[in-house]
Amino acid sequence: MNASAGTIGVALVLIVLIIFVLVVLVKSVRIIPQARAGVVERLGKYQRTLNPGLTILIPFVDRLLPLLDLREQVVSFPPQPVITEDNLVVSIDTVVYFQVTDPRAATYEIANYIQAVEQLTTTTLRNVVGGLNLEEALTSRDQINGQLRGVLDEATGRWGIRVGRVELKAIDPPHSIQDSMEKQMRAERDRRAAILTAEGTKQSQILTAEGQRQAAILAAEGDAKAAILRADGEAQAIHKVFDAIHKGNPTQKLLAYQYLQTLPKLADGSANKLWIIPSEVGEALKGIGNVLGTTTPDARSDGQDPAPRP
């Protein structure tokens, strides 16, 4: 009976030793992931900073604090009310990009660095925007971002944090100011539209008048060229007729006969009420009458006497 009890006691001791060894191994061997850092305290005092990889700790002597993320972090803070220089309350929503560069300082220099960055951002934002009026605050985002980044980076440097960028997501003025701004923008758009419409109408009228002027000039030039061409044609026709008449050497009787053929054309039209016949026409007609009424003996080609008159 005593032997059995002794065996059980030995087994219990072995089990306790095995558990103790396992606990020691677990507490002594640690693996630090990439982009993480660990702060080790030995007997309550800072001892070293662990980099990514495998490390060995002294059990029950060294204590590993919660790991710190070394990647750049993005924190979006809730909208903060800020009073501008012209006493208007605007709501500003900010985003801060920061990164832990010194794990020891981030652990021992500040209790909660995220909350500290938020409070510092709010205070700095109120100081910067408080010196600007509403219009400047709405149009100077880059300037505000630069000032915020400079102040935050300088203040958080001793905390082992580097502020990479600060962005203003939104600047919301009061609703009454938004309505006024919307009305002003609508009036400005209407004014610009009216100006553009007037400019378009003016340009259209100018182009129309210019087109009409050019058309009138071209029509006048066309009429002038046509009149010149008609005059040239009539002159050439008269010249040719005159040359033909002179080359043919017509007699007075032929000219009188041609004049008689032209008389019917003079009667065309309802406006011809009075004829003025030159005195030369009478002589020409007299000559034509002598030609038609008198026949000379040599007028016949066959040599016979002319027929007696009826």
For residue 157, CA distances in Å to 37, 150, 153 come to 18, 11, 6
What confidence score (pLDDT) does residue 300 get?
A: 44
How many angstroms separate the CA atoms of 45 and 104, rounded? 12
Amino acid at 131: G
Amino acid at 226: A
Burial of residue 272 (number of CB atoms within 10 Å: 0-12, 13-18, 19+): exposed
Q: All domains of the chain, ordered by start, with CATH? A: 2-69 (no CATH), 73-173 (3.30.479.30)
pLDDT band at 135 (very low <50, low <70, confident <90, very high): confident
How many angstroms separate the CA atoms of 90 and 97, rounded? 23
The residue with tokens 């060229």 is 225
* Span 1-35, pLDDT tens digits: 556 666 777 788 788 888 877 877 777 888 889 99
How many angstroms separate the CA atoms of 241 and 235, rounded? 10
What confidence score (pLDDT) does residue 37 get?
A: 92
The per-residue DSSP string of 102-148 comes to -HHHHHHT-S-HHHHHHHHHHHHHHHHHTTS-HHHHHH-HHHHHHHH
* Span 65-121, pLDDT tens digits: 999 999 999 988 888 888 888 888 888 888 999 999 999 999 999 988 888 888 888
> What average pLDDT does range 157-178 have in this prediction?
84
Beta-carbon contacts of residue 272 (< 8 Å; ≥ 6 apart) = 266
Displacement of CA 48 from its chain's centroid (Å) = 59
Residue predicted with more confidence, 67 or 252: 67
Residue predicted with more confidence, 230 or 258: 230
What confidence score (pLDDT) does residue 40 get?
A: 92
- Angle, vertex CA 48, rays to CA 45 and CA 51, nearest 5: 145
Across 37-46, 82-91, 157-166, 252-261, least confident range:
252-261
What confidence score (pLDDT) does residue 88 get?
A: 83
